[in-house]
Amino acid sequence: MTKITNVNIHPSWKEALTDEFQQPYFAAIKQSLLQEKQAGNVVYPPGKLIFNAFDATPFDEVKVVILGQDPYHGPGQAMGLSFSVPRNVGTPPSLENMYKELKTDLDLEMPPHGDLTAWAEQGVFLLNASLTVRARQANSHQKIGWQKFTDAVIRTLSNKREGLVFLLWGGFAKKKASLIDKTKHHVLTSGHPSPLSANRGYWFGNKHFSKTNELLNAQGKEPIDWQIK
């Protein structure tokens, strides 16, 4: 059995994903990360934050899923939550555009930082398709097995939960819709908030934040307070 050690992950996720953690491919992921360390390569996020999304949002408390592709690969940026950066790091362009949409959609003030922990603590599962990346090399870990794992995560949420709102932004994320049972869950899609996509008109005006809360309200669930303070 592959043991999960030296990382913070909520027990509810350990239970929900116990079969995945025992698969040979997961052992291969750990071996790949060990080889990176032995080669002297820097990997983000730090080990204790690789499963931060799974620690901050327990399995049974997930209400919304925001899927990213890859952790940030610059120093100090990645914190194990998709699109999120620590408070002492400048807000990345994609997140800036998310904040701009929040202002237009819900008239929320532009936050002073990019730490989305407050969303995660309310049930917004901030999942990246790959949970690690080599420093300054985007998508460098997309083929070491993480996507097989995170696809299983999405399928598990789809199978074992009901009424979740999945926000799939951009072509990569939209392909994950095939993993979701749309008779049980809500799937909202749009262009990616990155400047390249947003400036072409594929992001702004999607109103995904207000639509998400409408869907949660309709189920009698507490809406998300999207304001980052």
pLDDT by residue (tens digit) across 108-117?
999 999 999 9
Task: Please give the pLDDT value at position 199.
Answer: 82
pLDDT by residue (tens digit) across 11-27?
999 999 999 999 999 99
pLDDT by residue (tens digit) across 142-191?
999 999 999 999 999 999 999 999 999 999 999 999 999 999 999 999 99
Q: Is residue 81 over pLDDT 70?
A: yes
Task: Please give the pLDDT value at position 4.
Answer: 52
Q: Is residue 1 over pLDDT 50?
A: no
Whether this model's pTM surpasses 0.85: yes
181 flagged as catalytic: no
Share above pLDDT 70 across residues of the chain, in percent, rounded to a whole number: 97
Paired tokens of 59: 């399995």
Q: What interhelical angle do 146-160 and 24-38 show, nearest 10?
A: 140
Quote the CA–CA distance of 119 and 9 in Å, as a whole number. Answer: 17
Task: Please give the pLDDT value at position 2.
Answer: 40
* Catalytic member of 70, 105, 107, 225: 70
Count Cβ atoms within 10 A of the Cβ of residue 134 and give its class: 0-12 exposed, 13-18 middle, 19 or more buried.
middle
Q: Is residue 6 over pLDDT 80?
A: no
Q: What Å distances lie between residue 203 and 58, 100, 176, 185, 206, CA to CA?
A: 29, 10, 18, 22, 6
3 state DSSP class of 111: coil
CA 179 to chain centre: 16
Share above pLDDT 90 across residues of the chain, in percent, rounded to a whole number: 94
3 state DSSP class of 211: helix
